[in-house]
Amino acid sequence: MNISDIAKKIPASPIRELVPYADIAKKNGVHVYHLNIGDPDIQTPIEMIEVLKNWHKNPIGYAHSQGTAELLESMLWYYKKLGFAQLATENIQITFGGSEGLMWIFMSVCNPGDEIVVFEPFYTNYNSYAIMTHAKLVPILTTIENGFHLPSVEEIERKITPKTRAILICNPGNPNGVVYTKDEMDMLVSLAKKHNIFLISDEVYREFVYGDSLAISALSYTNEYRDGIIVCDSLSKRYSLCGIRIGTIVSFNKELMSACLRYAQARLSAGMVDQTVSASLTKVPDSYFAQVQVEYKNRRDTLIAGLKTIPGVVCPVPEGAFYIIVKLPVDDSFAFAKFMLSEFSDENETVMVAPAAGFYSTPGLGKDEIRIAYVLNTKALDRSAQILKKALVAYNAKNAKS
């Protein structure tokens, strides 16, 4: 039986493809520090857990396809607090996490073969959404040496062709921790406007910024480029709620929002329980975020301090999100990550990381890099850096022998 080209081409997640090795390590009694995936250990706000404990709706029926009225109101409340009072219910579509939203956006802006410009390294699943929707990602390289900030406008413009339909950014950035400056955002918006293409801004890490300046949402530009701005959002990271699959698409483009509602109708509704839990975001106190931010800044600093003690390791200081791309003194970071799970342990502990090649679409790039998600507490991160250091020695010693 033949399966389709998509079915053959869709990549395994570089974040998850090592999971079977981690499972075996765990079965053998080895403790695995999971730095491979952005699944935080921070507590979900108690106000949200209470929604489950106090559940009374029965039967648990479908919700409106756009989203429950209650959740749409809560999202408006949230965006208004950020300064985006211009939004109305019609500008928001509830999705199954950011993933479904990005799929629909790709599907809505690209005909098969149309192009989306994206800055490399990028969130690995963008590759999958592009394959599933027959869109073509056109990568523009950003470098670890430049802290993954944008290249010049000329360099970006060289990649814009008649087939380009959008520029896609992730800000704050997964996997690179970059937070774009106002100059960078201004440049992207005017570039998109000049070429009459969409600016798609994935802002699921909006609250995770560690510098003096806040991340600038693309929603700040809807006055000057009303139909061209599309924001993809998710509650997963913000409320440490990855298992509750709720995201949003936000745009003033009426045709786009109408299409999204029709996609939504085709899958009936997002989860009723997940939406009800999410709607309680209005009850989460500001102190929750303040604590979370302090915690992540400490984690970042702890991890960086640990990594700096390892010879041959190169890493920028991430400005936002909770990821860092780290260059290692190894030939093949996939082999090294697999080695840590299947051939190495230190005092019965090891570390799981994501090989970075999967975050590039240009073949050959990122082969000596890993992505670390600093989603564990500082003690675990400190210990993880020590393990990494010892594992590097063991791995390179083994390779030198063979």
Interface residues for its own copies in 147-176 (CB under 8 A)? 165
273 binds its own copies (CB under 8 A): yes
On whether the CB atoms of residues 293 and 210 are closer than 8 A, the answer is: yes
- Which CB, 13 or 220, lies closer to its own copies? 13
Q: Could you write out the DSSP letters of every residue in 283-303?
A: GS-HHHHHHHHHHHHHHHHHH
How far apart are CB 399 and its own copies at their closest, in Å?
29
Q: Name residue 381's amino acid.
A: L
The residue within the footprint of its own copies, chosen from 18, 36, 92, 100 (CB under 8 A), is: 100
The residue within the footprint of its own copies, chosen from 71, 75, 109, 341 (CB under 8 A), is: 109
The residue within the footprint of its own copies, chosen from 35, 63, 72, 353 (CB under 8 A), is: 63
Residue 374, number of CB atoms within 10 A of its CB: 26
259 binds its own copies (CB under 8 A): yes
CA distance 225 to 219: 10
Chain Cα centroid distance, residue 201: 11
Q: Which of residues 358-397 bind its own copies (CB under 8 A)?
A: none
How far apart are CB 270 and its own copies at their closest, in Å?
7
16 binds its own copies (CB under 8 A): yes
187 binds its own copies (CB under 8 A): no
Question: What is the crossing angle of helices 19-27 and 333-342, to 10°?
Answer: 20
Q: How many CA atoms lie within 13 A of 215 on its CB side?
A: 25
How far apart are CB 249 and its own copies at their closest, in Å?
12
24 binds its own copies (CB under 8 A): no
Alpha helices in 143-239 (DSSP H): 153-157, 182-194
Q: Which of residues 316-345 bind its own copies (CB under 8 A)?
A: none
97 binds its own copies (CB under 8 A): yes
Q: Which of residues 111-140 bind its own copies (CB under 8 A)?
A: 111-112, 114, 125, 128-129, 132, 134
- Which CB, 49 or 153, lies closer to its own copies? 49
29 binds its own copies (CB under 8 A): no
How far apart are CB 168 and its own copies at their closest, in Å?
15
The residue within the footprint of its own copies, chosen from 18, 30, 35, 40 (CB under 8 A), is: 40
- Which CB, 114 or 368, lies closer to its own copies? 114
The residue within the footprint of its own copies, chosen from 24, 28, 60, 283 (CB under 8 A), is: 60
Candidates 98-106, 169-177, 324-332, 340-348: pick the segment binding its own copies (CB under 8 A). Answer: 98-106
Helix (H), strand (E) at residue 33: strand 31-34
Cα–Cα distance list, 226 to 16, 21, 80, 117 (Å): 37, 47, 17, 20
How far apart are CB 56 and its own copies at their closest, in Å?
9
The residue within the footprint of its own copies, chosen from 86, 196, 348, 362 (CB under 8 A), is: 196
The residue within the footprint of its own copies, chosen from 33, 96, 205, 323 (CB under 8 A), is: 96
At 136, list the tokens: 């073509």
Residue 173, number of CB atoms within 10 A of its CB: 27
For CA atoms 247, 237, 176, 7, give the dihedral sign. Answer: negative
302 binds its own copies (CB under 8 A): no
Whether omega for the bond prior to residue 172 falls within 30 degrees of 0, making it cis, is yes
Closest CA to 251 of 194, 178, 166: 166
The residue within the footprint of its own copies, chosen from 27, 29, 61, 162 (CB under 8 A), is: 61
How far apart are CB 204 and its own copies at their closest, in Å?
12
On whether the CB atoms of residues 396 and 330 are closer than 8 A, the answer is: yes
Q: What is the largest CA-CA distance in the chain?
A: 64
The residue within the footprint of its own copies, chosen from 18, 32, 33, 65 (CB under 8 A), is: 65
The residue within the footprint of its own copies, chosen from 163, 262, 308, 398 (CB under 8 A), is: 262
CA dihedral in degrees (28, 31, 36, 41; nearest 10)?
140
On whether the CB atoms of residues 118 and 168 are closer than 8 A, the answer is: yes
Q: How many CA atoms lie within 13 A of 310 on its CB side?
A: 26
On whether the CB atoms of residues 165 and 192 are closer than 8 A, the answer is: no
The residue within the footprint of its own copies, chosen from 24, 28, 41, 308 (CB under 8 A), is: 41
